[in-house]
Amino acid sequence: MAKKANKYHGYDITTQAIHTGTDYDLETGAVRRPLHMANSFKLPDDLSQVNYSSTDLLMYARNGNPNQHWLEEKLAALHDADDAIVLASGVAALHALFWTLLKTGDRMVYPNVSYMAVYRMFHELFNRKFNVETVMVDMTDLEAVKQAITPGTKLVHIETPDNPTNGITDIAAIAEIAHRNGAVLSVDNTFASPFNQKPLELGADFVVEAITKYINGHGDAQGGAIISNDLATMDRIRYEAQVNVGSVISPFNAWQIFRGSVTFPLRMERINKSAQKIAEWLESRANVTFVSYPGLSSHPGHVTAAKQMKNGYGGVISFGLNTDDKAVERFCAALKVVTFAVSLGHDESLIFPQPSYDERIQLYPEVFRKGFIRFSVGLEDPHDIINDLDQALQKIGL
C-alpha cells in the first residue's frame, strides 16, 4: 500500500485526533463517514489484475474494510508515521509483526518484564514450535542488553513503560545497539500512547499498541495497531499475517475505536495529571511499600522517562501494600469508584492485583513480590479516587 495520507501533518495532536481519517460521506454529505458492515465488495469488471491476497482492493472483509483503513490513517498520523495496520487485538498486532519478521533459526531478544502474551510467545511458543532462539534480558540493564544482542540478531522487542511493573527502557539507546548489530527494534507503546511517546522518532522501526486501551478509551472495543515507516515490511505483514492468517478487525470495532480516538489527547492530558497526583498521594502512605510511576523522582527510570516521554507519564501506577494476597483482594473489592477488573486505559479507573503466586513474580524486582497491585487511573475526579483508595485501605486496616 502507498504511504497513508496525512492532510493535517504538522498540526497539534489534538487537531489531528479530530480531523485525520474523517471526511464527508460521499453519498449523503453526512459529516461522519459511515459504518460499513459488509463482508464483500463489488468486484471490478476486469478480473485479470485482481490479486486475491492483496489488501489494496476492497473485495472481502479479511482483505480489509473501510473503517479499518480510516482508523489506520489516524494512527499513522498520531505517530507522524507513513503507515499503520489495525488488527483485531493488541496481541494479534504483536503476533502479526513477530510472525512476519521471524523464521526458524533466527535469534530475537525480549524483555524479562512484558505483556503476558509476549512472554508466552517467546518463552514457550516461537522457540518450541519454530526453533526461534528467544533470549530474555533485563532491558533496563544496558550492559546485559549489549551482551544479549549479538551480530545477526533479527529482532529486539521492548515495552516501555512495561506491563505490569512500569519499568522504563531507554528506546534510543536500545535502537542504537540493535541497529549496530543488524536487528530491527519494535516497541510496545501501549502504556505511553502517542500523546506521551513516539518511539519511531527515537529510532524504533515498529511500534505496536493495544488500541483497546487509551486510543479507544471507553472499555467497549478491542483492537491493535502496528505503526511504521517501513512500507515494504508493512505490506508483508498485510499479506502474511492479515490476509493469510486472518486477524482482521471488525468494521464495528474499528468504528468504535475511531470514535474513541477523537478525544484521546484530552483524556491523556487529564489522566497524566491525575495519575501524578495519585502516585504522590500513595507514596505518602505508611503501608504502601512501593510506588512505581515514571513521573516520580523516586522511580529508577525517571530521568530516561523524562527524556523520551514528552507530555507526561501515563495513567498506570504500580504499587504495593504491606499485606497478603487475600487482603489485597479485599482492598480491591472494597473500592466504590474504582472498578475491580483487568485492562487499563478506560474512562473508569481499573484495579487488578498481581498475586505473589503469579508464575512470573520471580522475574520482577524484589519489592514487587508482595502485595503488588496494578492501577489504571481513569477520568473520575482525582480527589474522589484518592478518597476511595483511602476508605478501602482503612477497611483492611491499613
Ligand X SMILES: *Cc1c(COP(=O)(O)O)cnc(C)c1O
Residue numbers at the binding site for ligand X (CB under 6 A): 89-91, 115, 159, 163, 188, 190-191, 210, 212-213, 222, 224
Q: How far is the CB of 88 from ligand X (least distance, A)?
A: 8
Minimum CB distance to ligand X smaller for 4 or for 213: 213
How many CB atoms lie under 10 A from the CB of residue 335?
Answer: 18
Helix axis angle, 264-283 relative to 382-395, nearest 10°? 40
Pick 186 or 323: Cβ nearer ligand X: 186
CA dist list (Å): 145 to 177, 253, 264: 8, 38, 34
CA 266/CA 364 separation, integer angstroms: 33
Rounded distance, CA 54 to CA 39, Å? 15
> CB 342 → ligand X: shortest distance, Å?
9
Residue 337: which region, alpha, beta or left (left: phi > 0; alpha: psi -120 to 50)?
alpha
Closer residue to ligand X, CB minimum distance, 11 or 252: 252
- Provide the minimum distance between the beta carbon of 209 and ligand X in the complex, in angstroms, as a whole number: 8
Looking up cell 475491580 gives 340
> In angstroms, what is the minimal distance from the CB of 213 to ligand X?
6
The residue at minimum Cβ distance from ligand X is 90
d(CA 61, CA 95): 20
Residue 61 CB, shortest distance to ligand X, in Å, is 19
Shortest distance (Å) from residue 90 CB to ligand X: 2
What are 108's strand-pairing partners? 134, 155
Mapped to the 3 state alphabet, what secondary structure does 63-123 carry? Answer: HCCHHHHHHHHHHHHHCCCCEEEEECCHHHHHHHHHHHHCCCCCEEEEECCCCHHHHHHHH
6/222 with CB nearer ligand X: 222
Question: Closest approach of Cβ 378 to ligand X, in Å?
Answer: 15
Pick 59 or 207: Cβ nearer ligand X = 207
Closer CB to ligand X, 64 or 345, in the complex: 345
Give the Cα separation of 64 and 191 in Å (integer): 27
Determine contact, residues 353/301, Cβ cutoff 8 Å.
no
Minimal distance, residue 376 CB to ligand X, in Å: 9
* Of 95 and 238, CB closest to ligand X: 95
Cβ-based nearer residue to ligand X, 160 or 274? 160
Asked if residues 6 and 257 have their Cβ atoms less than 8 Å apart, the reply is: no
Contact 17, 263 (CB under 8 A): yes
Using CB atoms within 10 Å of the CB of residue 350, give its burial: 0 to 12 exposed, 13 to 18 middle, 19+ buried: buried
